[in-house]
Structure 1
């Protein structure tokens, strides 16, 4: 399945913030963290955020990219539509985002953080070549949760 990334627009944001996941993945519902929701819905923050569409033109996810201060590390954020998760589509989805990132940002290192309970996503990232770096605690969603930092330092 092919994926296409396009600059995030208001209708994309409206759709994405309405997505609701089944437990335990409801942790990723945008409404779960008011601060993250405010950042995501603010048009001033959309420059490096992209909606993802499948070959049928359906909105199936999003990516955000943040270039580190030194320009060598690209922090990746992403989300898939709840109906697309758990169906074996994750690897192609992440690879499409990484290919876009390689062409657009040309980073030395790709980095992402994932909640440690999300073994499904961790497996996808490792299958692509990401390596586990460290775990850390992060305040979000009204609590403090353990996350895993993963990096990939080779081009795709």
Structure 2
């Protein structure tokens, strides 16, 4: 079994040239606004490189690539890991031009297998803005449970939006994937 490789998706280290691809994703306002609550803006190359290069003990960040190509099509990560509690925050961003092709689902399946089987984590959590219905559907298809709502957390285009908290426990993942 290849730990970080599936049928047509693999998780890899970042390579020379990935920063330019990731910059193009972040320059897409819809992508950036689904990823972050901060106001949309263009980020410096230094900031983007810092995001991709994190080797912190509490962060595992991977490039998402198709198995038949080297081009970066996304980023997934486990962040702010609390090792003593076995918990981590999940983040995913897929190239907008590759959205809807199942790559996000496959990348998260690989990341969850890695989180629970290799890192021996007990809980993966994430937040998602309520307007990001496509992501919510994906998380629920993968077994994540809606655990809470940060009411009116975010204001975008003059409208208040909730931010939702989702979690997945190791036992739920094991039951879901048996």
Instruction: Give the TM-score normalised by the residue count of structure 2.
Output: 0.69
Structure 2 stretches lacking a partner, 5+ long: 1-6
Q: Match of 1:151, SS?
A: strand
Cα distance in 1 between the residues matched to 2:129 and 2:101: 19
Tell me: CA distance 1:86–1:44, structure 2 relative to 1, closer, same or farther (3 Å).
Answer: closer
User: What whole-Å deviation, never above 9, does each CA across 1:74-131 have from its counterpart, x for those lacking one?
Assistant: 1111101111112344322321222233344221001111111111111111111000
| 1:60 partnered with 2:42 | no
Aligned residues of 1:6 and 1:52 also touching (Cα < 8 A): yes
Cα distance in 2 between the residues matched to 1:22 and 1:69: 34
Q: Match of 1:18, SS?
A: helix
Q: Match of 1:124, SS?
A: helix
Structure 1 stretches lacking a partner, 5+ long: none
Aligned residues of 2:27 and 2:42 also touching (Cα < 8 A): no
Aligned to 2:89: 75
Tell me: CA distance 1:119–1:46, structure 2 relative to 1, closer, same or farther (3 Å).
Answer: same
User: What whole-Å deviation, never above 9, does each CA across 1:9-55 have from its counterpart, x for those lacking one?
Assistant: 453233112126877555247892568x8754326952222111111
Matched pairs, number: 154
CA RMSD of aligned residues (A): 3.5
Tell me: CA distance 1:108–1:55, structure 2 relative to 1, closer, same or farther (3 Å).
Answer: same
Within 5 A, what are the aligned runs for 1:98-117?
98-117=112-131
| 1:17 partnered with 2:23 | yes
2:165 to 133, 149, 152: 149
Cα distance in 2 between the residues matched to 1:75 and 1:17: 22
Instruction: Give the TM-score normalised by the residue count of structure 1.
Output: 0.77
Larger radius of gyration: 2
Within 5 A, what are the aligned runs for 1:92-131?
92-131=106-145
Cα distance in 1 between the residues matched to 2:23 and 2:83: 29
Within 5 A, what are the aligned runs for 1:79-94?
79-94=93-108
